[in-house]
Structure 1
Amino acid sequence: MADVVKSEGRKIVVAVDGGEESAFALQWCLRNFVSISATTSSPRDTLVLVYARPSPPMYSAMDGTGVLFSSEITASLDKYSRDFADSVMDRAQKICKDYNNVKVDVKVTEGDAREVLCGTVEKIKADVLVMGSHGYGFIKRALIGSASDYCSKNAKCPVVIVKRPAA
């Protein structure tokens, strides 16, 4: 039986969120996945950096405390969120700059990170999802949830969860 050869490289999705854990996971991915292909004649991999911008909260004209929200305040919050997303992606792209053997795509999407990541890997038919672990304990994970735990159970591709060593 002949081996099936892909006409293009792998699609590696890396979750980035501005934290040290995701930066470490991205660096780990570049050293352990991408750098290997640099020594072969295999096609160039595509690294898809995904940042899920939190959905803006819905405010009525007055919140529960009677504070009036103006359109300038909500516009300012949205601008801050967009600027932060740009900063996260700039940092991630700088980490990738020394790896010429990989194509880097950037996706900033609004929504819950768990759903965004699982949706992205399914949509682009990713070969693997790489994400950092914040190392939440049982209680915190139970209260706020864990994106890595959710993705490991629901993503339509293998998931590599990279734990940053303790300092």
Structure 2
Amino acid sequence: MEMEREMEKRIVVAVDESEESMYALSWCLNNLLSPNTKSTLVLLYVKPPLPPYSSLDATDYLFAGDVIATMENYGKGLANSVMSRAEAVCRDSNTTSIKVEKKVGTGDAKDVICVAVKKLQADILVMGSHDYGFFKRALLGSVSDYCSKHVECPLLVVKRPKFLV
């Protein structure tokens, strides 16, 4: 099993709702994977956590259980939508021999990605760049910047060319 693992490459691609992440996935399929290499492509989507809530809202009315269920269903629907788009990108590429796995996590994206990459024993992590400016990055933080400092495997950040925007 260990010998088989050595020959197989595990590439984790972090995907989200953005065009940048789909471009990074497409770039990965066209540039990192070849039909001759035994590889597993792991599509990783991280759902944001549900906001903390109280059973009472600001007007002291009880939250109905269906409100919370609706929020959970929205998160599941978003995950399904992202994964469907990612699968379509994979189908459109000519990499039919590549094994594709889908993983969905919940929480802060930067933490979930770092833990998943370690648990999956990834050989490389591929992410798209949202290309935030200095101020937006300072306020929001950069998931790829955090991952570059905390993942134990190489990280490839793919920047979408301006002419495609």
Unaligned 5+ residue runs, structure 2?
none
Deviation at 1:65, TM superposition (A): 5.8
Counterpart residue type for residue 68 of structure 2 = T
Look up the match of 2:29: 30
Look up the match of 2:14: 15
Instruction: Quote the Cα distance in structure 2 between the aligned partners of 1:132 and 1:102.
Output: 20
Instruction: Quote the Cα distance in structure 1 between the aligned partners of 2:30 and 2:80.
Output: 24
Instruction: Quote the Cα distance in structure 1 between the aligned partners of 2:28 and 2:59.
Output: 46
Counterpart residue type for residue 156 of structure 1 = E
Deviation at 1:61, TM superposition (A): 1.9
Instruction: Quote the Cα distance in structure 1 between the aligned partners of 2:145 and 2:57.
Output: 34
The answer to whether residue 71 in structure 2 is matched with residue 71 in structure 1 is no
Q: Is the 8 A contact 1:59 1:69 kept in 2?
A: no
Q: Structure 1 vs Structure 2: percent identity of aligned residues?
A: 49
Match of 2:49 among 52, 55, 80: 55
The number of equivalent residue pairs is 159
Instruction: Quote the Cα distance in structure 2 between the aligned partners of 1:112 and 1:65.
Output: 29
Change (3 A) 1:71 1:6: closer
Unaligned 5+ residue runs, structure 1?
none
- Segments of 4+ in structure 1 off by > 6 A? none
RMSD after superposition: 1.8
Instruction: Quote the Cα distance in structure 2 between the aligned partners of 1:163 and 1:24.
Output: 8
Look up the match of 1:102: 98
Match of 2:39 among 15, 37, 45: 45
Look up the match of 2:145: 149
Deviation at 1:63, TM superposition (A): 3.3
Deviation at 1:66, TM superposition (A): 4.8
Change (3 A) 1:144 1:66: farther
Q: Is the 8 A contact 1:14 1:49 kept in 2?
A: yes
The answer to whether residue 114 in structure 2 is matched with residue 118 in structure 1 is yes
Look up the match of 1:130: 126
Deviation at 1:8, TM superposition (A): 3.3
Deviation at 1:62, TM superposition (A): 2.4
Change (3 A) 1:5 1:88: closer
